[in-house]
Structure 1
């Protein structure tokens, strides 16, 4: 197959939504970033997201019919959650959305993607991360609800006639609930899933009765999908179509050179030892800091002119230096995700917030310890400020948007290449069945002799950091209603082999640190020792 041209037009990137009045199907091609997440997920669901929320609420708020109605309403508002995938070639993978024929169809579809269970949170999360894949090409989102066996809200009637009085009568009958919102990563990101969690809680805890929510569903379906509706672009467009385009041949050439130069500067020579394993097995470690210690941490960071995120980059660096005898000439490389929504081209369209909008940046820090051990604290704050400077530079760099375009294209090409490798291997295992020629992806161009003569510095990353910021701001609207007491939030993904990721955020006035890693593919003893050093560094530098 011919590699996609670098001169993508907006039309090529979005593959304008097609609408057929008979089939009522809307579809578009995936963008490069979506494709880079989709192709690796095909085998075992790599990167499938989950958002775990535990809370206390009156039983009738979590009745089956009410949860089903709220889930159906939100899937109507955010069509990618109700979409499916059709793969034609490695270059042509399509998202399809079947316009619902009625609000009742939406409710029936919601019934198939909501599951009530009676088990522990740990069992549910472990089965989602390490068990059989929950999601698929035909099911891009799913909702688990853990309910107490004594809950009277599980099988209550479809609606409550006097909903307001019901709240007053049952306000003291609070039960403990947990929900797990699941979605593929190629249709959304961390910001989207948290905004969705807030919208879900806002809906189920509202003054509306279950019947009113269903009426809202019917009304919004009528506006969006009735026979009189002429809106064709139902599916949100991909990331690359939202960013300002790179215009002009000279500018494209210059941006391409800049991107290559920026990639060549990514130097890192430290990694956690790996083990051979047939499959990944994710482990989650959560450490919340109480309000008093969180205030102390925030104040310490503020007085030193950095954020908690900046400090955590430095902590990851110092913790590794403390437990190893590092190669001082090679720095440590840490990677993180960037929300690209602030860089979008302004648009009048009122579309869903549920879409993928991820960019990437890296922080590179020296690994050698100070000559004098008494200077360790000052060295730490110096590196925290270096992390701050690099983070700001990445977010405000004038070439950020062009680099995002080229990075998306490079990730898409890489995903195609490895998808072909995986499919060929699977074909060999299946008695040598050949892979159809139509699925042949573009292969990288041969490396020139000049390039080979100049060895590239290693760019090995130690781990990734996901800095979600203050989640209290996102959940403010649902918490302000006072009918749900949300107390625990965690999130993660089904991991690839050898992966390790640190999550950091504040919620309920607490700082939360979560480490997720593949215990089969990484040396568990080294990871646990490293995690211990990270927590010691938090106490040593941020709590004194």
Structure 2
């Protein structure tokens, strides 16, 4: 693993911190969701994306490896898919709660898992309309009626919940959503079980029958996807730039926290109807911003209104940056999986106070444009690659230190570090020392954009996706806001540890956030 992968793996070992999930609610006829069909599709995708069926071996804090056992046959792939597939009868909320707060689903030997749930009483009892005749289908009324009566009209749509589970060090949100689109594209196709099993056999032979000894089966690490020259001048310049960029991140606001022995993550979620979503997006466009930039301003205004933090310090928020456009090393077919980690971070800093009431709306849109400008500068910086490498080293080093401390505490052998009296000259800083400003982050925002551009709904017309929720298992006192459009609707959710904050405080902040959406976005 590279440093970025390690920074996600090491904290996950005990309780599954960062284990991702993607929930999708959908309706379909039962024949599309039979176990044999889902298993075959799952097996094909696990073949195409080998990290999903790999396992992890940890040798020490600097040496953690993905281990992939080559399938000896297509039958092996079906067996592996079956072992990592589960059918349940839980509702959406029960499914997500059990994943976030129950025993850990994933492990070093199970890096991905698929759960299909049909809640009790989910049969909609609405017959599927007859299929439209085409040149490849019977065109006479009698023939069409015969097929429809046997395939469609006798079978109502059922409501299903799908949960895709994967370790975060395998990939990121973009991999999850691309995978879900591919999954439904196959599941909703005209192929039958035999077709999928024949596809599995063919693709297994293409990959494994004549594989060369130098085949790069597993994807490269994030850092290897965007390599940099090893020159001393480049390295020094990168360190100076990274240090300067970090010193600009000033933030003095955090949610008050409380200690509690148990973590309990909840995910309150609000969706807005399609007509209102269109009006919101239109208003954002008229003010020169995206909905993502507007959500930074929403969080900023809501925080000012709950009255938290010192007014003389700004509010710092962070978000994820998709690094795939910056990769210079491209995988070759057939080992061109998109399941790999490609995520960086950027920060937005906004004032913590609000002006008089008559200027609040203009201030809101001004701060949304500030968020847009800061996001754009982060994404378009020519130094994205070098900053990513520097941040990876810093995060990897921190994760190794904390992992070692956690392990020693668990064994009862940890001792506080002894102050060093070494006479060795300390490493010289790249820049003169400055007084350190606080850089506390209020919260993170996961802004996924328009997911309807990623989900090709028209390619699986027999399946209707209507609900999407995503997130990960969290650490104590964590919080992350999600914003995206899906199925024509704007969705906003706040995942947080409800035991990690004073009672009622986050509820008040969430109410202020939704009130700000009503007030400014319409």
Taking structure 2 as the reference length, the TM-score comes to 0.90
Deviation string 1:394-453 (CA, Å, 9 cap, x unpaired) is 00112111001111111100100000110011011xxx599xxxxxxxxxx979899998
- Give the Cα separation in 2 of the matches to 1:45 and 1:340: 24
The CA distance in 2 between the partners of 1:150 and 1:289, in whole Å, is 26
Match 1:77 to one of 48, 64, 86: 48
Report the equivalent of 1:363: 348
Among 508, 514, 520, the alignment partner of 1:535 is 514
* Structure 2 counterparts to residues 236-385 of structure 1, below 5 A: 236-324=219-307, 326-347=309-330, 349-350=332-333, 351-370=336-355, 372-385=356-369
In structure 1, C-alpha distance between the alignment counterparts of 2:229 and 2:251, rounded to whole Å: 30
Aligned to 1:171: 152
Whether 2:400 is the aligned partner of 1:419: answer no
Aligned mates of 2:272, 2:187 — CA distance in 1 = 29
Distance 1:531 1:446, change over 3 A: farther
- Structure 2 residue aligned with 1:498, among 469, 477, 491? 477
Question: 1:534, 1:451 → 2: CA distance?
Answer: 40
In the other structure, the counterpart of 1:514 is: 493
**1:59-78 alignment to 2 at 5 Å?**
59-78=30-49
Question: Is 1:46 matched with 2:25?
Answer: no
Quote the residue 1:130 is aligned against.
Answer: 101
Instruction: Point out where structure 2 has 5 or more consecutive residues left out of the alignment.
Output: 124-136, 138-143, 416-424
CA contact (8 A) 1:272 1:523 kept: no
Separation of aligned partners in 1, 2:450 and 2:5: 26
Query: Post-superposition shift, 1:376?
Result: 0.7
Provide the aligned C-alpha RMSD in A: 2.3
Equivalent residue in structure 1 for 2:444, among 464, 468, 471 = 464
Query: How far has the Cα of 1:454 moved from its partner?
Result: 4.3
Distance 1:355 1:148, change over 3 A: same
**Partner secondary structure for residue 90 of structure 2:** coil
Aligned partner of 1:181 among 149, 164, 176? 164
Does structure 2 retain, via aligned residues, the 8 Å contact 1:479–1:486? no
Take 2:337 and 2:497, find their aligned partners in 1: how far apart are those partners?
A: 33
Structure 1 residue 346 displacement after superposition: 4.9
Give the 3 Å change call, closer, same or farther, for CA 248–210 of structure 1 in structure 2.
Answer: same
Q: In the alignment, which of 189, 194, 198 is matched to residue 206 of structure 1?
A: 189
CA contact (8 A) 1:59 1:151 kept: no
Structure 1 residue corresponding to 2:26, chosen from 55, 63, 77:
55
Partners of 2:53 and 2:426 lie apart in 1 by 41
Superposition deviation, residue 151 in structure 1: 8.9
Tell me if the contact between 1:223 and 1:229 (Cα under 8 Å) persists in the aligned partners.
no
Give the secondary-structure state (helix, strand or coil) at the position aligned to 2:452: coil
SS in 1 for 2:345: strand
Aligned residues of 2:448 and 2:482 also touching (Cα < 8 A): yes
Measure, in 1, the Cα distance between the counterparts of 2:79 and 2:189: 23
How far apart in 2 are the matches of 1:542 and 1:420?
A: 47
Alpha-carbon distance in 2 for matches of 1:87, 1:346 = 26
In the other structure, the counterpart of 2:388 is: 404
Residue 187 to residue 537, structure 1, CA distance change in 2 (3 Å): same
Q: CA deviation at 1:522?
A: 1.8
TM-score normalized with structure 1 length: 0.86
Cα separation, partners in 2 of 1:91 and 1:230, compared to 1, 3 Å: closer
Say if 2:184 and 2:460, in contact at 8 Å, map to a contact too.
no
The structural deviation recorded for 1:131 is: 0.6
Q: 2:504 matched to 1:525? A: yes
- Give ranges in structure 1 of 5+ residues lacking alignment: 1-29, 153-161, 435-444
CA shift, 1:278, in A, is: 2.1
> Any conservation in 1 of the 2:240–2:430 contact (CA below 8 Å)?
no
Return closer, same or farther for 1:201/1:466 CA change in 2, 3 Å cut-off. same
Does the residue aligned with 2:107 lie in a helix, a strand or coil?
A: coil
Cα deviation for residue 123 of structure 1 reads 1.1
**Contact kept? 2:28, 2:159, Cα under 8 Å:** yes
Alpha-carbon distance in 2 for matches of 1:366, 1:527: 20
Cα deviation per residue 1:257-281 (whole Å; 9 max; x = unaligned)? 1101111111101111101122321
Q: Structure 1 residues 448 and 168 mapped into 2: Cα distance closer, same or farther (>3 Å)?
A: farther
Match of residue 86 from structure 2:
115
CA separation in 2, counterparts of 1:363 and 1:320? 14
Distance 1:326 1:48 in 2: 31
Cα distance in 1, alignment partners of residues 429 and 293 from structure 2: 41
Render the CA deviation track for 1:142-166: whole Å, top value 9, x for unaligned: 00110256899xxxxxxxxx9x997
CA distance in 2, matches of 1:449, 1:223: 53
Q: Distance in 2 between matches of 1:137 and 1:280?
A: 22
Counterpart-to-counterpart distance in 2, 1:449 and 1:54: 53
